[in-house]
Amino acid sequence: MVNISYGLGHFKTLREEGGLYFDRTHLLPELEAAGRQLLFLRPRRFGKTLWLTLLESYYDIAAADQFDPLFGDLAIGQNPTPNRNRYFMLKWNFSVIDPGGDYQQLVSRIHRHINNSIEFFSARYHDFLPEAVPIDQTDGLGSLEKLLIVAKRFNFPLYLLIDEYDNFANEVLTSREQGRQRYNELVEGEGVIKTVFKAVKAATDGLGLERVFITGVSPVVMSDITSGYNVAENISHWPEFHALCGLTAEELQPVCHQIAQHCQLPESAADEALAMMRNFYNGYRFCREETQRLYNPTLTLYFLKHWQRRCRYPDELLDDNLAMDKNRLRYIAALPHGTEVIEAALNPQQSLWVAKLAQNFGVKAMLNDPPDASFIISLLVYFGVLTIESVNLLGELTVTIPNQVVRSLYIDRIQQQLLNGYEDNNRQQAVAKQLYTEAEFEPLVDFIEQRFYSVLDNRDRRWSNELTLKTTLLLLLTNDLYYLPRSELSLGGGYSDLLFEIRPDKRQAPLYDLLFELKYLSLKDLKLSAEQLSELSREQLAELAPVKKLLDDAERQLASYQPTLEQLFPAVEWNLKSFAVVSLGTRRLVWR
């Protein structure tokens, strides 16, 4: 069996317990050469803490006797850098600081956290230092100064690790209780976060702090305190560090084969599992020069551990504990261009692009009516809910939703905006289930016309073609428990509008694969008013010449897709139901 340590972010413990580890130590020499003060940004739950604890074990002077068991069989083991086990290590983890309360409570918690880290430091290095570092109970930065004096006296350089530098500040910002005001107090003027980073900057100026490595999610907080700490090299988009955190298909393939053998499954099961994970967890690209896609490591290990233990996939492909904080998506939706970008991201035929990812933008820049959506798009990329898809000849970046897990977050957000609470949600689930299990389309059509189209039509005229219907079906039918949604799947001479393919592990369930070909007619093209449209039955609408023509066209396309599907996916036992659907404005639907 593979020892899969899901949720374990501590390198030393992982290695001591023989846990599955994907070696990144070959990057240590390049990391040292990159600079002495480094900032590395990745989405939440992407393995940053594991890397930080690796640095702690590698550079810690008190861990020299553990080098061989921890690193001996890794890339760095046979050729370590001169800085190996040379430093006193000091670590701060800002994600453990409670973001609640008023400004003075936040200040007290930050100073307490710094003091606690220094007390741990004194205990760890008591064999090297004949005296404990004096602690100023009300001033953690005063305690830091005393630590530097003690370390300098005994000629040991200091390496500072800061994990999730922006975590609690982002939590404050996105909270509903005076978030903006409390955030400004933290980062502006002599705010405590700015003051802390000014102290870190000063400590690197010959006072004994030789190296700093900082992790976080976005550059927003760093931009807002830039005069306090403007010396860090942001390596987040350097191609050599693209896979510093995250997993590759090449790394996962042998693990999948091992698990398939353990579960006595056919060889094809490994490829099927990798395809499932590619659909739900892959797709991340953080550098314009690097085209390799990365898997979210936490979710991937969650899947693999469950698959190995039960010899079947987890029903829930997203652990609820790992979902991106919904408050952040709500916060982004409220920013200028926020809702526009979130809705556009779900539109499979509307490209989102930016000239480059912004690296220096604070909260004010996002709030003060920016001229375009570049800040919002960049922030969504940093959060991991958009990612780089391609780079054109002008160097512009096209961005997209990376995978199905993230797409579900968007869908959940827009459903909250468009569905009217408990009753709508229950009815939506009921009509979707009728389609999944009985291929009954009419209840869903009635729901779309009565509850959904009325909201869209009153809300925004951008929703005004077949993409409206496609987005609507994605919003109402996406169900990760049962289906793999596919949009614009290439099928021979054309592209299917929308396919809901049954998950391979749900093939025995009483479900249908659902294939849609979608068309659109405006009321102007129909030469009908909204009132006239509402008076006609669905059967009468289907007999109108322009409607009939589009239904015929859609049926011909569907007929050509089915044999192509069977050729492309010969191992799949399709239980296919096809639907030719025409949307008449954003008011009525006709189908066959």
User: Structural domain boundaries of the chain?
Assistant: 35-63+85-218, 326-400, 419-591
Residue showing tokens 């510093």: 244
Instruction: Tell me the one-letter amino acid at 281.
Output: Y
C-alpha to C-alpha distance for 152 and 147, rounded to whole angstroms: 8
Give the residue, 167 or 147, on which the prediction is more confident. 147
Query: CB pairs under 8 A, 24+ apart, for 191-198?
Result: 191/225, 192/106, 192/107, 192/110, 193/110, 193/169, 193/221, 193/225, 193/228, 194/224, 194/225, 194/227, 194/228, 194/229, 195/141, 195/228, 196/110, 196/114, 196/141, 197/225, 197/228, 197/229, 198/228, 198/229
pLDDT at 112 over 50: yes
pLDDT at 461 over 50: no
Q: State the pLDDT at residue 325.
A: 58
pLDDT at 65 over 50: yes
336 pLDDT tier (thresholds 50, 70, 90) = confident
Q: State the pLDDT at residue 580.
A: 97
Mean pLDDT of 495-524: 93
Average pLDDT, the chain: 90
Q: What letter does residue 247 receive in the DSSP assignment?
A: B
Mean pLDDT of 416-437: 88
pLDDT tens digits along 219-256: 999 998 877 688 899 999 999 999 999 999 999 999 99
Mean pLDDT of 413-429: 82
Q: Residue 252 has which token pair? A: 């996962």
Of 81, 72, 159, residue with least CA distance to 121: 159
Q: State the pLDDT at residue 403.
A: 94
> In what helix (H) or strand (E) does residue 97 lie, and over which residues does it extend?
none
427 pLDDT tier (thresholds 50, 70, 90) = very high
pLDDT tens digits along 157-204: 999 999 999 988 888 877 766 777 888 888 888 899 999 999 999 999
pLDDT above 70 coverage of the chain, percent: 94
Q: State the pLDDT at residue 496.
A: 86
CATH for 35-63+85-218 is 3.40.50
pLDDT at 449 over 60: yes
Give the residue, 130 or 39, on which the prediction is more confident. 39
Give the residue, 69 or 410, on which the prediction is more confident. 69
